[in-house]
Structure 1
Amino acid sequence: MSPVVDPAPLSGRQPKAVRNALAVLEEVAAAGPGVTAKEISAALRMPPATTYRMLNLLVGEEYLVRLPDLRGFALGRRAKRLSVAAPPRPCAAARAVVEHVRQQLRWGVHLASYSDGRLVLIDTDPDHPPSDEALLARFPHATALGKILLADQPDWRALVRDMRSFTERTITEPTRLDVELKEVARTGIAWQLGELRSDRGCLAVSVRDEAGTLVAGLTVSGPANGIAERRGALVTMLEQHAQQLRPLLA
């Protein structure tokens, strides 16, 4: 067997360049398709020139791709080989439970998975598809499903890169979000009334397995005023169905 030859030693600048490239790649994966160079630079506090250099490198190596409109970036072919597999589709019995909720409401009802600390929709309402799905993972502080995930973290700040304001109701103060998340952790219920879109709201309840681990979230979305007016009835309905989902999603 041929001896292993050590590669040429890294220069003083190369380790930092590698770290910068990995940070950019991670930010695109976390932010989702369409994130811009400006957003990446701001989130990482990286000089724009360095950000563009890293983006061009990663595009050239096929870890990233430019979207057709040239306004943003997404993971490329080689990066997708490193990604975690998507959560499996829920079983027929679980989908039947979610469908039963839909039959009783005129608004959208969705089921999300929290496997590996990621928020992924695994059963969306075909009659009321979510219009803001791409924003769920990027801005969890402004969504009910996102707040369920954040409330379960030892430090929610690790998952919130940008406390962006979408409406005058969006919570952008960490101390205020802290208070709300403690209540979400206590009750397993999260609200969003006009925080992502001024006219829309949603309610989400957590689904935990027998060991108490957060595995999913069941949510209803609709007009903000309508969600607020039916708050008590909606909580009761979703909690009852979340209990039915518990053994089916373990």
Structure 2
Amino acid sequence: MSLVKEHIVQSVDTAISVLMEVAKHPDIRLSEIARSLTETKPRILRMLRTLEHRGMVQKSPKGGFRLGNAILVLGTAASTQVDLVRIASPIMEDVGQKVNETVQLRIIDNSEALCIAKFEPSRDLRVHAMIGRRRPLHAGSSKVLLAFLPPQVQQQMFPGQLDRFTPRTITHPVRLAAQLQTIRNAGYCISRGEVSEQLVSVAVPVLAFDGSAVAALNIAAPAFRTQESDLQRFVALLRDASKQISTGLGW
């Protein structure tokens, strides 16, 4: 327990406690928060002003505090991600059973592609997936996540350095930008040996209720047993699966 406490930033911990008080008691006043948390009013006021600056809380007409608009964004994102795995898992398993290959669901997290759900077939030779594993956005089928971002956000997500993993990895920004546009026009991404020369993968975007791409659904397979006709079948299956997931998310 002491080891955990050593890593806690007290001011952040207090700010979260303040936020939770506002969440539980809309229009709560400064003095009430300070009393509930046994903190001084000046300290709580600093926390509230910081949270207000970031849109997490706002002053209410009654003189108290309530949640701000930024919390709606966080809430929607959290709800979408939780629903995403719940809705996607059986659909991913269905796709995986049909192709007898590995299926993964990835989201953007800290400018990387993060695996949040997977299905692996029982066959001995297969692509091994790991929930929590990160991949670069500029290489492999994870490029589909980058391709469907709004242009201004896409530019912000461009890595400062495009690392090379195989001879097929695109490391020139202009070439990458052109391929992202091609992927966006096509509605899917096929990657042949960009992260590992032995693998091919196909990915499509998953859309949220507002039409934004919240995740990428992909099939990864060993290159030696994957023909061009297989890749086109993967695209069709993934598009149908993505549509099912997106519908479940309210799109």
The 1:113–1:134 alpha-carbon spacing in structure 2 relative to 1, beyond 3 Å, is closer
Look at both structures and tell me which one has the larger radius of gyration over its CA atoms.
Answer: 2
Would you say the 8 A contact 1:91–1:248 is kept in 2? no
Q: 1:115 to 1:245 in 2, by over 3 A?
A: farther
How many equivalent residue pairs?
Answer: 173
Q: Per-residue CA shift, 1:59-101, capped at 9, x if unaligned?
A: xxx8xxxxxxxxxxxxx765x989x897426354432111100
Displacement over 6 Å in runs of 4+: 115-118
Q: Which runs of 5+ in 1 are unaligned?
A: 1-61, 63-75
Is residue 145–residue 215 contact of structure 2 (8 Å, CA) maintained in 1?
A: no
After TM superposition, the structure 1 = structure 2 runs for residues 106-117 of structure 1, keeping only pairs within 5 Å, are 106-114=100-108
- Which residue does 1:173 correspond to in 2? 172
* 3-state SS, counterpart of residue 171 of structure 1: coil
CA deviations on 1:169-220 (whole Å, 9 max, x unpaired) are: 1111111111110011112201221111111121100111343211221100
How far apart are residue 108 of structure 1 and its match? 0.7
Is 2:171 the partner of 1:152? no
- Please say if residues 94 and 249 of structure 1, whose CA atoms lie closer than 8 Å, have aligned partners that are also in contact: no
The alignment's TM-score, normalised by the length of structure 1, stands at 0.58
Q: Which residue among 90, 94, 97 is the counterpart of 2:88?
A: 94
CA–CA distance in structure 1, aligned partners of residues 110 and 207 of structure 2: 14
Aligned residue runs from structure 1 range 1-250, under 5 A: 87-88=81-82, 90=84, 92-114=86-108, 119-127=113-121, 128-130=127-129, 134-136=133-135, 139-145=136-142, 147-153=143-149, 154-155=151-152, 156-159=154-157, 160-229=159-228, 230-250=230-250
Contact 1:215 1:249 in 2 (8 A): no
Deviates more, 1:188-197 or 1:157-166: 157-166
Q: How many angstroms does 1:240 deviate by? A: 1.0
Report the Cα distance in structure 1 between the residues aligned to 2:131 and 2:210, rounded to whole angstroms: 31
Taking only aligned residues, the RMSD between alpha carbons, in angstroms, comes to 3.4
The whole-number CA distance in structure 2 between the counterparts of 1:184 and 1:236 is: 15
Percent identity between matched residues is 26
CA contact (8 A) 1:113 1:217 kept: yes
Name the SS for the 2:203 alignment partner.
strand
Task: Give the direction of change, closer, same or farther, for the CA distance of 1:77–1:228 in structure 2 (3 Å limit).
Answer: farther
User: For residue 197 of structure 1, what is the amino acid of its counterpart?
Assistant: S
Which TM-score applies when normalising by structure 2? 0.58
Range moving further from structure 2, 229-238 or 148-157: 148-157
Q: Distance in 1 between matches of 2:196 and 2:236?
A: 25
